[in-house]
């Protein structure tokens, strides 16, 4: 089973629940429609990886604020990459089929370590850099669905167990990537830096 690190402890998530289309500008950049209801899908534990791997020229990175759950509440925050086989997803969407082959493959959920969640999340966000240049930036106020809304919606039909992770959606700036690319992220809340981490694509 794959694990993540939270406050120097090792946890084993049973699942990852992901929010799709949660930033208007990202919806526009992919030519999608703003959904009437929250779009949710799952990744299995086997999707988790600490290493950022190259898969194909059509594989896309999507940086996301991530929430770690304990006792049904947001206990930790971190950063994650939702790696997506864009060509496969486009085909599946055109046929009205599920996205698992494009979204839930092994190594498709690359996470930072997790740190304790701030008491107030209204000023949380992240900045992602690729090879030293800005790639993506997210802020709480840009989310269509806020973290508490997301947790409540998931909980209306699915149990979030201790250690489970919620990926809250990606802002604009998604792109394909190459071997050797260096990604660096800063997760912040107001003026406080919560964590920084880097990955070199292998």
| pLDDT single digits (tens) 130-156 | 999 999 999 999 999 999 999 999 999
According to the model, what pLDDT value does residue 200 have? 98
The domain tally of the chain equals 1
Q: Quick one: pLDDT band at residue 32, thresholds 50, 70, 90? A: confident
> Which range marks the domain in which residue 129 is found?
4-200
Pair 88, 57: CB distance under 8 Å = no
> Is the pLDDT assigned to residue 127 strictly greater than 70?
yes
Give helix then strand counts, H and E, for the chain.
4, 17
Q: Quick one: pLDDT band at residue 70, thresholds 50, 70, 90? A: very high
* β-pair partners for 82: 109
Q: In percent, how much of the chain has pLDDT > 90?
A: 91
Q: Look up tokens 């988790």; give the residue.
A: 48
According to the model, what pLDDT value does residue 81 have? 98
What is the mean pLDDT of the segment spanning 58-63?
A: 98
What is the residue-averaged pLDDT of the chain?
A: 95
3-class DSSP state of 14: coil
Q: CB 100: neighbour CB atoms within 10 A?
A: 16
* CATH code for the domain in which residue 79 is found: 3.90.850.10
What is the mean pLDDT of the segment spanning 108-123?
A: 97
> Is the pLDDT assigned to residue 33 strictly greater than 90?
no
CA distance to 5, 28, 154, 188, per residue, from 160 (Å): 18, 30, 8, 25
Q: Quick one: pLDDT band at residue 27, thresholds 50, 70, 90? A: low
Q: With a threshold of 0.85, does the pTM exceed it?
A: yes
């Amino acid at each position: 089973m794959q694990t993540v690190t939270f406050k120097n402890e090792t946890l084993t998530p049973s699942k990852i629940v992901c929010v799709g289309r949660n930033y208007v500008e990202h919806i526009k950049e992919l030519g999608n429609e703003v959904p009437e209801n929250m779009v949710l899908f799952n990744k299995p534990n086997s999707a988790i990886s600490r290493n950022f791997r190259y898969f194909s020229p059509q594989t896309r990175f999507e940086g996301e604020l991530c929430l770690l759950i304990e006792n049904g509440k947001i206990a930790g925050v971190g950063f994650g990459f939702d790696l997506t086989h864009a060509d496969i997803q486009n085909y599946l969407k055109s046929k009205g089929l599920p996205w698992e082959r494009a979204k839930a493959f092994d190594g498709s959920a690359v996470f930072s370590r997790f740190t304790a969640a701030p008491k107030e999340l209204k000023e949380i966000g992240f900045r992602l850099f690729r090879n030293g240049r800005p790639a993506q930036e997210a802020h709480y106020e840009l989310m269509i669905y806020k973290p508490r809304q997301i947790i409540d919606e998931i909980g209306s039909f699915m149990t979030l167990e201790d250690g489970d992770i919620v990926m809250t959606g990606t802002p604009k700036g998604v792109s394909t990537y190459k071997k050797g690319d260096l990604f660096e992220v800063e997760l912040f809340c107001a003026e406080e830096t919560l964590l920084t981490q880097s990955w070199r694509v292998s």
